[in-house]
Chains A and B, each alone.
Chain A
Amino acid sequence: AQSVSQHNHHVILSEAASLELGCNYSYGGTVNLFWYVQYPGQHLQLLLKYFSGDPLVKGIKGFEAEFIKSKFSFNLRKPSVQWSDTAEYFCAGAGTASKLTFGTGTRLQVTL
């Protein structure tokens, strides 16, 4: 069965701290991986995606993620977070039908 797991449920960081959110996946066959962000009161927005090629992918707002096939991981990183990064972050995987399987999400709180 396809599954995506996120181990950090709630993360609190000070502004300018570095961020790494964990994501592990379990898929049979080819998998496309995504990170979505949901700011308070807003809809899910795509941060970045991995389909193939360079395992280090860069997204919007300074976020990046690294696909490590041997570890079944796709962790999200940002060198220096801002207060405006406060949001919920979801890792998701999709097979050929583009149907997404989401992790449970990580709530990030950035303090000033």
Chain B
Amino acid sequence: KNQVEQSPQSLIILEGKNCTLQCNYTVSPFSNLRWYKQDTGRGPVSLTIMTFSENTKSNGRYTATLDADTKQSSLHITASQLSDSASYICVVSAGRGATNKLIFGTGTLLAVQP
């Protein structure tokens, strides 16, 4: 069964600190892995997208890693800001061509406190 699991479920950090969110997946066939940020009451916004051959990708203070052998990904946030408070969702794309489907994790809720 295709599954995406994220940890921790929730996280509280102080402004300026770094944090790392985890994503483990059992998806076959693997196509790509995406991280989304979702602010409360809004739609998800893409942060990064990585294919099988990519093991790291950065977007400003966000850095995602992918280990296709262990089927794990992490999202590292550097020098956190209050605006980073949101839900971070790991999404794995499964399948090929027209049967490509997105499998969503349940997200990590991050709260950045002053």
Q: Do A and B bind each other?
A: no
B residues neighboring A (CB under 8 Å): none
A residues neighboring B (CB under 8 Å): none
